[in-house]
Amino acid sequence: MLFDSPAYFLFLIPVALVYWRLPHRAQNILLLLASYFFYGWWDWRFLALMIGSTTMDFLIAQKITAGRADSNRKKWFVLSLVLNFGILGVFKYFDFFTGSFSTALETLGIHHIPLPLIRVILPPGISFYTFQEVAYIVDVYKGRLEPAKSFLDYGLFISLFPHLIAGPIQRPGHLLPQVQKDRAFDADRFFDGLMLIFSGLVRKCVVADNCALLANAAFGGQFGPSNFWIVLIGTYAFAWQVYGDFSGYSDIARGSAQLLGFHFIVNFRQPYLSHRLQEFWRRWHISLSTWLRDYLYIPLGGSAGGRWKTSRNLLITMVLAGLWHGANWTFVVFGAIHGAVLAAERCLFPVKTKQKDAARTQHSAGVFSLWAQRILTFNLFCLSLAFFRAASLPAAVQFLAGLSHFAWRTEYASAFFMLCLFSIPLFVVDLLMEASNQEYPFANAPYAVRTALAAFALVILALFSGNNLNAFVYFQF
Amino acid sequence: MPSSTSSSKSPALVHARVLLGICALLVLFFEIFADYLLKHDSETYGRVSQQYAEAVKVRPSRSGEPVSVLMVGNSLLMEGIDVDRLQELTSSKMRIYPIFLEATGYYDWLYGLERLFRQGARPQVVVLGVGVNSFLQDSVRQDYAPMMFFDVRDVLGVASDLKLDRTATTNLLLAHSSAFWDARSVIRTQVLRHAVPHCRELFALVKSKPALPPSSELELITLARIQTLRQLCDAHGAKLIILVPPTRSSEDAVRQMAIASQKVGVDSLVPIDPATLSEKFYQPDELHLNSEGAALFTSALATYLPGEIGEPKSASSHN
Identify the pLDDT of residue B3.
Answer: 43
The answer to whether residues B28 and A464 touch, using CB atoms and an 8 Å cutoff, is no
Q: Which of B1, B15, B189 sits opposite A447 (nearest CB)?
A: B15
From residue B239, give the alpha-carbon distance in Å to each of A77, A467, B111, B315.
70, 38, 17, 13
Task: Break chain A into its structural domains and give their ranges.
Answer: 21-184, 189-476
A36: Cα within 13 Å, side-chain hemisphere: 17
The tens digit of pLDDT for each residue in A243-257 reads: 999 999 999 999 999
Interatomic CA distance for residues B55 and B101, integer angstroms: 14
Residue A466: list chain B partners with CB under 8 A.
184-189
CATH numeric code, B42-137+210-318: 3.40.50.1110
Beta carbons of A421 and B195 less than 8 Å apart? yes
Residue B96 pairs in a beta bridge with: B69
Identify the pLDDT of residue B253.
Answer: 77
The answer to whether residues B127 and B243 touch, using CB atoms and an 8 Å cutoff, is yes
pLDDT at A40 over 60: yes
Interatomic CA distance for residues A117 and A213, integer angstroms: 34
- Does residue A9 sit at the B interface (CB-CB below 8 Å)? no
The pair phi, psi for residue A235, each rounded to 5°, is: -75, -40
Report the chain B residue with the minimal C-alpha distance to residue A212: B206
CA distance A381 to chain B (A): 24
The answer to whether residues B70 and B121 touch, using CB atoms and an 8 Å cutoff, is yes
- Return per-residue pLDDT of chain B as tens, 319 residues: 544 445 567 899 999 999 999 999 999 999 999 999 889 888 899 999 999 999 999 998 888 888 999 999 998 899 999 999 999 999 888 999 999 998 899 999 999 999 999 999 999 999 999 888 888 888 898 889 899 999 999 999 999 999 998 888 999 999 999 999 988 988 898 899 999 998 888 888 887 666 667 777 778 888 899 999 999 999 999 999 999 888 876 677 788 888 888 888 888 888 888 888 888 888 887 788 899 999 999 999 999 988 888 755 544 333 3
pLDDT at A306 over 50: yes
Identify the pLDDT of residue B318.
Answer: 37
Beta carbons of B2 and A20 less than 8 Å apart? yes
The SS3 of residue A477 is coil
| Cβ-Cβ contacts under 8 Å for B302 (sequence gap 6 or more) | B85, B86, B89, B90
Report the chain B residue with the minimal C-alpha distance to residue A230: B206
Beta carbons of A7 and B22 less than 8 Å apart? no
The answer to whether residues A207 and A200 touch, using CB atoms and an 8 Å cutoff, is no
Mutation for testing the A interface, residue in B31, B35, B192, B203 having most A CBs under 10 Å: B192
Report the chain B residue with the minimal C-alpha distance to residue A182: B4
User: Who has greater pLDDT, B134 or A22?
Assistant: A22
User: Who has greater pLDDT, B98 or A348?
Assistant: B98
The SS3 of residue A445 is coil
Is the backbone peptide bond immediately before A168 cis, with ω within 30 degrees of 0? yes
State the catalytic residues of A: 325
Report the chain A residue with the minimal C-alpha distance to residue B201: A411
* CB count in 10 Å sphere of residue A130: 24
pTM (2 decimals)? 0.88
Mutation for testing the A interface, residue in B4, B6, B30 having most A CBs under 10 Å: B6
CA distance B209 to chain A (A): 8
Beta carbons of B197 and A455 less than 8 Å apart? no
Identify the pLDDT of residue B2.
Answer: 47
First to last CA, chain A: 16
CA distance B237 to chain A (A): 37
Task: Break chain B into its structural domains and give their ranges.
Answer: 42-137+210-318
For B173-187, letters b (16+ CB in 10 Å) and e give bbbbebbbbbbbbbb
Mutation for testing the B interface, residue in A186, A199, A202, A216 having most B CBs under 10 Å: A186
| Cβ-Cβ contacts under 8 Å for B295 (sequence gap 6 or more) | B82, B85
Interatomic CA distance for residues A390 and A327, integer angstroms: 13
Sequence letter at residue A448: A
CA-wise closest residue to A286 among A302, A271, A268: A268
Report the chain B residue with the minimal C-alpha distance to residue A417: B196
First to last CA, chain B: 63
A261-270, A304-313, B300-309: range with highest mean pLDDT: A261-270
The tens digit of pLDDT for each residue in A195-236 reads: 999 999 999 999 999 999 999 999 998 888 999 999 999 999
pLDDT at A294 over 80: yes
The tens digit of pLDDT for each residue in A127-172 reads: 889 999 999 999 999 888 899 999 999 999 999 999 988 879 999 9
Across A185-194, average pLDDT: 93
Q: Which of A2, A415, A459 sits opposite B167 (nearest CB)?
A: A2
Q: Counting beta carbons within 10 angstroms of the beta carbon of residue B154, is it exposed (0 to 12), middle (13 to 18) or buried (19 or more)?
A: buried
Sequence letter at residue A428: V
- Does residue A462 sit at the B interface (CB-CB below 8 Å)? yes
Least confident of A65-79, A379-393, B73-87: A65-79
Residue A95 CA, chain-centre distance (Å), reads 23
ipTM of the complex: 0.82
